[in-house]
Structure 1
Amino acid sequence: MADDQGNQEQAHALPTCYRHPDRETGIRCTRCERPICTDCMISASVGFQCPGCVRGGSTAGSSRPRTLTGAPVVSDTRLVTKILIGVNVAVFLALQALPGLADELVLWPVGVAFLGEWYRMVTSVFSHLEVWHIALNALALWMVGGPLEEALGRLRYLALYLVSGLAGSALGYLLMDPNSGALGASGAVFGVFGATLVLHRRLQRDLRPMLVLLALNLALPLLPGTSIGWQAHVGGLVAGGLIGYAMLHARGSRRTLLQYGSCVLVLAVVVALTLLRTAQLT
């Protein structure tokens, strides 16, 4: 039993640099594909090469270095995070300039169910009215989203963010008062939190700081006098955790299919919940 558990933990660990066995790494030589740490990376025309290939002129097949999930390693590992923050800030500024626009973007169950305004499930994820709201979400996304984007890769990270945001909208649509409204990127941000917890466990890091941060954010809607909806938080957190687990633990030739397939499955649940709530209201 102990040997089986040890083998499982070893299977889930990052590979170690072939020249420094005590250093875990998610980067590989573009020529021989052996794992290399940052001290062993030598810049090449495309990606990085290991010292052995540079010295010996290895003719092994070349490929771009990959992240933990199999995505290509890129120079700007926070590009998508910057774009997402920029979009949220741009919508916030537009709402300040055109206050009436919020009525068209907010998640309003009556509008979705009776008027067929399905777009509100998406637009509400990028909408904020208060400065503190956009500031907290942007700060959290920058601090937690950046490292997650580096680990997942751009497209996987973007897919997780968007599907988590929709999952938050779906749970809000299902459980909130039909005549109330909700907006904010909290569902998507909590999806990033959920996936980051999976990443930290995958790398065998201390989970306590993330758990404390998560608990504090989950407790905010419970404070007296607040109007923060907990539904989007929970929906995004569950979706992000499930998708993050699939992306970080998928293996084999079908890894990419399993990773994006998890997004499709969660999206299918989102659609099912949305149709169920619509049937209830109408």
Structure 2
Amino acid sequence: MSSSGPSYGERAEFSESDVCYRHPDRQSFTLCQRCGRTICGDCQIQSPVGVLCRDCVKQTSAGPKGAARVGRSARVAGRRFAALDAPVTMSIIAVSVVVFVLQLLSHYFGRDGVTSALWYSPTFSMADGLHEVAPGQLAGYPEGAFIEGEFQPWRMLTVMFTHSVGFLPHILFNMLALYMFGRNLEQMIGSMRFLALYVFAGLGGSLGVMFWGYADTMSLLGATVGASGAIFGVLAATVVAFRSMNVNVTSLIVLLAINIGIGFMPGMSISWQAHFGGMIVGAITMWIIVQTRGPRRKTQQIIWLVALAALLIALSFAYLVISPV
């Protein structure tokens, strides 16, 4: 039986077509795995799929393919972020750190412009214009005075991402507490519920500062920064969540009590009002989530959380109804 090719042990002979497509004077049996053209030793490039010619390598590494790889990398990065055990917690930490860096730069090069644009003072909950303070109502002004109001309610939320640039442990302690307790709570109740709880607690902290203005007129002039209200809300919510599962929360309650007590120490310049406001709202939010847990009560849970959000927003307009001065 005849064969068209050489038998085993015979030497193969080059034909006219067995020459490199780039170097016709060089004979070769090697073919490019992509285009099938014959290539000599100088034109061969090893790849994971075999030997390729130089033209095919250029085509696969340029143009739309390269852009597609960038797109795939972005999608992979997005999936990895979504796969984090607590994406909301990590995002809040990241935003807080970025804002703090901007605050530092503004502190040294911009007269604290970033901090003053984001902090909260009860005067930002008052109607625009001058408000007359009765004689003796404001310490140091026995004949009365005027307080300038500027209604900017969004500051009740932006203040959650600011921290004191003169006291580095402020942001370190807040972010450490958020990382330790926020991650666990987010995994327990889900990212969207945790985001709602954090925002509600932060707003509750600002409301605590605002409502104290009714009791102490001097506090109207004080500006606050920090995520402490929201952090205390997370801690209080953790207590409520663990208590609903019959977990011993004594150590966490002691931790809360110690931190509350620190706020009353002389010279600490800590807004205990924000701590109490955040704690109260955080505990209420978590109580709603616990009482309406389960797939059959999801609609009821949404209704109660929306109602709580509406109540908090309505309370933020309290100064427009009843002025503190």
TM-score strictly above 0.5: yes
Instruction: String of CA shifts for 1:199-249, please: whole Å, max 9, x gaps.
Output: 111222111111011111111111111110111111111111111111123
* 1:143-182 equivalent positions in 2, closer than 5 A: 143-176=180-213, 177-182=219-224
Instruction: Determine the structure 2 residue equivalent to 1:119.
Output: 154
* 1:263-278 equivalent positions in 2, closer than 5 A: 263-278=305-320
Instruction: Determine the structure 1 residue equivalent to 2:134.
Output: none
Instruction: Determine the structure 2 residue equivalent to 1:76.
Output: 84
Q: Distance in 1 between matches of 2:154 and 2:121?
A: 11
Is the aligned partner of 1:237 residue 2:283?
A: no
Superposed CA RMSD: 1.8
Which runs of 5 or more structure 1 residues have no equivalent in the other structure?
Answer: 1-73
* 1:124-143 equivalent positions in 2, closer than 5 A: 124-129=159-164, 130-143=167-180
Q: Distance in 1 between matches of 2:301 and 2:236?
A: 16
Q: 1:261 to 1:189 in 2, by over 3 A?
A: farther
Contact 2:125/2:319 (8 A) holds in 1: no
Indicate the SS of the match to 1:178.
Answer: helix
Alpha-carbon offset, residue 251 of structure 1: 4.5
Indicate the SS of the match to 1:267.
Answer: helix
Contact 1:171/1:273 (8 A) holds in 2: no
Q: Distance in 1 between matches of 2:190 and 2:256?
A: 23
Partner of residue 248 from structure 1, selected from 283, 290, 303? 290
Indicate the SS of the match to 2:286.
Answer: helix
Q: 1:251 to 1:89 in 2, by over 3 A?
A: closer
Instruction: Determine the structure 1 residue equivalent to 2:29.
Output: none
Letter in 1 for 2:199: L
Partner of residue 87 from structure 1, selected from 72, 85, 95? 95
Indicate the SS of the match to 2:188.
Answer: helix
The structure with higher relative contact order (CA 8 Å, sep 6+) is 1
Letter in 2 for 1:175: W
Alpha-carbon offset, residue 261 of structure 1: 2.9
Contact 1:105/1:127 (8 A) holds in 2: yes
Indicate the SS of the match to 2:221.
Answer: coil
Q: Distance in 2 between matches of 1:183 and 1:257?
A: 35
Is the aligned partner of 1:109 residue 2:122?
A: yes
Indicate the SS of the match to 2:316.
Answer: helix
Contact 2:120/2:223 (8 A) holds in 1: yes
Contact 1:243/1:262 (8 A) holds in 2: no
Q: Distance in 1 between matches of 2:294 and 2:123?
A: 45
- When Rg is computed on C-alpha atoms for both structures, the one with the higher figure is 2
Contact 2:156/2:206 (8 A) holds in 1: yes
Contact 1:186/1:233 (8 A) holds in 2: yes
Alpha-carbon offset, residue 268 of structure 1: 2.7
Q: Distance in 1 between matches of 2:221 and 2:194?
A: 33
Q: 4+ runs of 1 displaced by more than 4 Å?
A: 251-254
Alpha-carbon offset, residue 169 of structure 1: 0.7
* 1:14-93 equivalent positions in 2, closer than 5 A: 75-93=83-101
Contact 1:221/1:228 (8 A) holds in 2: yes
Alpha-carbon offset, residue 147 of structure 1: 0.6
Q: Distance in 2 between matches of 1:198 and 1:248?
A: 8
Instruction: Determine the structure 1 residue equivalent to 2:72.
Output: none
Indicate the SS of the match to 2:223.
Answer: coil
If the length of structure 2 is used for normalisation, what is the TM-score? Answer: 0.61
Q: Distance in 1 between matches of 2:254 and 2:228?
A: 17
If the length of structure 1 is used for normalisation, what is the TM-score? Answer: 0.69
